Amino acid sequence: MAADVAGLLRRLREELKPVEARILGHPFLGALERGEVPRGGLQEFARQQYHIIASDLRSVALAVARSPAGAAQDFFRHGLQAEAAAFEALRAFATALGLPEEELRAADPLPGAFGYSAYVTWLACYGSAAEFAAAFLVNLPAWGAVAFFDLFAAPPAGFEEAATAVIVEGLSQGVEPGLIRRAAHLLQGYELLYWDTLHQVGAGAR
């Protein structure tokens, strides 16, 4: 079964290379790396991330509650700790930009930016733990390449092994590989939409 999962993940990563390349070569990220995103664009980044991480915290907590004790619950429990740490880092980032939390909370989420978290909520409510874990496992390298805070610069130690264990468990319980593939494709697509949306807002803030 582990060999089947390794093959599935290889195929998924190969299929998603074009999307990942678009993310890694995204003009917004290039501008971010060069320090060319204007303050207004960085502030919008913080506003959108506030809503995203706040939503993801609830979604991952729900995934913990839905999972029986074992590989899946352990995976999501560690994920919940990472989301909580990211939320604290975001608050510090926003403070450095002169954004009080009241302003972050009051800002409207942009549909194109929030689609990622809306789908994470869908996974938490209706998807299997295997779909959730695979989508995040395949997505994390592209997200981590952005180095959004040091927390996401690289997968945490043991992340791939823990996610793989959840996928193995899910497949052994009858989760269809096609559903795992669909989840990974959708999450990666929503991330690309997120950066496209921020690029539009960031360009408008120049």
- Residues 43-78 have pLDDT tens digits of 999 999 999 999 999 999 999 999 988 999 999 999
Tell me the whole-structure pTM to 2 decimals. Answer: 0.91
Percent with pLDDT over 70 in the chain: 89
| Second CATH level (architecture) for the domain 45-204 | Up-down Bundle (1.20)
Confidence of residue 154 (pLDDT cuts 50, 70, 90): low
Contacts 24+ apart (CB under 8 A), 147-153: 148/49, 149/86, 149/89, 149/90, 149/93, 151/82, 151/85, 151/86, 151/89, 152/86
**For residue 146, pLDDT beyond 60:** no
- Residues 12-39 have pLDDT tens digits of 999 999 999 999 899 998 888 888 889 9
Confidence of residue 143 (pLDDT cuts 50, 70, 90): low
The amino acid occupying position 94 is: A
Q: Per-domain residue ranges for the chain?
A: 45-204
